[in-house]
Amino acid sequence: IGPGSICTTRIVAGVGVPQLTAIMDVVEAARKTDTPVIADGGIKFSGDLAKAIAAGADCAMLGSLFAGTEESPGEVFLFQGRSYKAYRGMGSVGAMAVGSADRYFQQDVKDSLKLVPEGIEGQVPYKGPVGTVIHQLVGGLRAAMGYTGNATVKDFQKNAEFVRISSASLRESHVHDVTITREAPNYPGGAS
């Protein structure tokens, strides 16, 4: 169980592992039966997608990245002068109350106050057409493959090397020591 942006299972149930570990463990087991692997959760940037693919995932679920797009369900609304769309996890009280409780072994709970949610309801910035988001994701994946000298996904996965970094290294990987005056389409301000 990985780190989906709206998932609280790792905190509520104390179960789960970091996303890269989850992918690598599942890939090791899935390859024995030639079963495709889907990375699910924790992908905020194109670089996260590149790492998931390099670790062996065949594809990825990108819920929060697509939730704010024009094509996702729900209306665009204004909040403090910016456009947003609602986004909720299948383990949220709202989703469980209308049918997803069985996924969490709570299908017999009739009182919503007695549900034990493993997700939240929130909002994500509106991002416009999904094609724009996909273009940035593909561009980031191509850049990762280029920087690492891999022309194919198969080579990218075969040659992948990972380095454990500290929280300080993660902070320095993000924009720092400046105020963003114009957001990039693949890096929203305040992302670190």
Catalytic residue set: 7, 103
- 41 and 4 in contact (C-beta within 8 Å)? yes
Indicate the helix (H) or strand (E) that contains 144.
helix 130-147
Burial 94-118 (b: 16+ CB within 10 A, else e): bbbeeebbeebebeeeeeeeebebb
CA pair distance 107, 105, nearest whole angstrom: 6
**Residue 178 in tokens:** 């400046």
In the structure encoding, which two tokens stand for residue 171, read together?
Answer: 């902070």
Alpha helices in 75-122 (DSSP H): 93-95
- Taking the C-alpha atoms of residue 102 and residue 114, their distance in angstroms, rounded to an integer, is 14
Q: DSSP state, 98?
A: I
Phi first, then psi, for residue 155 (nearest 5°) are -65, -40
